[in-house]
Amino acid sequence: MNKHDKLLSFIYMGVMLAAALYWAISADSWTVPGTVAAVACWVLFTGLGLRAIPPFTSYLVSPGDPQKVAPTGPENGRQQTWIRIVAWVLASRILLLLLAYAFLIINNGYTGGLFETLTETWHLQGIDAASYLGIAERGYVTEGDARFHLVFLPFFPLVMKMVQVFVGDYLVAGFIVSNVCAVAAALFAYELARLDLRREEALRVVKYIFVFPSAFFFFIPMTESLFLLLSLMCLYYVRRKNWLLGCLCGALAGFTRSPGILLAVPVAVEMARDLITSYRLLDKKAFVRRFAAAFICLATISLGLLAYLYVNYLVSGNAFQFSIYQREHWFQRLYLFFDTVRYQTEYAVRTFREGDTRSLLGLWLPNLVCIFAVLILMFQSAKKLHPSYTLYFIVYFAYVVGPTWLLSAPRYFAVAFPLAFAAVLLTPDKRKDVVLTSLAILGSVVYLAVFVAGYPVY
């Protein structure tokens, strides 16, 4: 380990130890299961960061041509590959529709036809989809329960509203937007993967994105498909040296979901590597121009979040009104992610002892399994995965797991595209690929079944 890696590792360990000490001092309750789970999460996350540092520093200083786009490798029959991807994704949408309907009939008996029971099957009134549909139809309001819709970002409802002009129905528009974005996301996932991987490996990246247990949220009127598409577009265009277009996609991602601002981390890594190489090769004036271009483009990513704050100001007179609603209505604030694991474990133990299988199987157990599964997956692949993807996952994990009332961990991680890349890198032979794919599909079927059955899956 070189001196730079040692220094970064020392700083990182200092931050993690300080967080652990603060948690230990401020914690007001301790249970053995919760503490053990929190410590295990802390250890895995800390290990992930330490394993990510050497590849990160090596990537930054590795030589590269600042004028040359990332390689794609030879590609014959790209059109046929795209057709294959589109056909596969559309077929998976049809299968989801039929499978969910079958689960509804098994659970409730026959209550109507496939499309008559669409809202009932997908619980659109019990999840965030209803809020997005309300925003698309009526905008943000300041009275009644609908005023809390301000915590949901505007871009997805805005796109639904534009599509509704052509189809005449907000619900139909929501399904169209989500599924078109899912198809487009599959294509961009493939193209992004082809910058580093062979064709068959890139296709497996697409596969793993869509067999993730909560990937059925890509089907319904929720932000997942749009956010995933914009995230992939952001990284793809930045790595292809089209910085402005990539950062504009990042800004739109930040206008879709708040974690979109975190795309600035992998973008900054890619730009930093380019600038380090440029410093060696370009004259002073050319380098200054390139540095200024990088700074302006990177700053562009913040425009999505700033636009959302401005919407808050226009609606309520307070740019941060959404945070007040989150705190007062949902008891939600950002804290330490390993404390989240603590209380999730305590809730899981409590519901198990009380026989509350619905909360256990729909909420607490899936959250915990997902959190530890993704950490283990990323820990194992940290030395092989593209460094900017690993860093993005690290900040994304800390951000989405940190809230003090986490309900939707599997859904949040469905859009964490580095997981699919990690899965491919850890399954180089067919046997491992089949095992991991089978486990993911099994988890998908079970999670969809409990969702349709009305368990608290959000």
Question: What is residue 77's predicted lDDT score, i.e. its pLDDT?
Answer: 82
Ranges under pLDDT 70 in the chain = 63-76
So what's the pLDDT on residue 71? 55
CA angle 101–105–453, rounded 5-degree value: 80
**pTM of the full structure:** 0.96
pLDDT at 103: 97
Strand partners, 403: 334
Residue type, 374: V
Predicted pLDDT at 72: 53
The residues, ordered by sequence, that sit 6+ positions from 85 with a Cβ below 8 Å of its Cβ are 183, 186, 187, 190, 203, 206
Task: Say what the pLDDT of residue 183 is.
Answer: 98
d(CA 144, CA 148): 8
Q: How far is CA 152 from CA 2, 322, 332, 357, 389, in A?
A: 45, 8, 14, 30, 26
Assigned token pair, 454: 């009305």
> How far is C-alpha 7 from the chain's CA centre?
30
If DSSP codes are grouped into helix, strand and coil, which group holds residue 275? helix
Joined together, the tokens standing for residue 59 give: 């990537």
Q: Of 350, 388, 31, nearest to 195 (Cα)?
A: 388
What is the pLDDT, as a whole number, of residue 428? 95
**Domain definitions of the chain by residue range:** 1-62+337-425, 77-329+427-458
* Planar angle of CA 284, 287, 289, nearest 5 degrees: 110
Q: What is the CA radius of gyration of the chain?
A: 22
Give the ranges where 317-452 is alpha helix by DSSP (H): 321-329, 337-354, 357-359, 365-381, 387-401, 409-414, 418-425, 430-452
Task: Encode pLDDT of 343-383 as tens digits.
Answer: 999 999 999 999 999 999 999 999 999 999 999 999 999 99
DSSP three-state, residue 257: coil
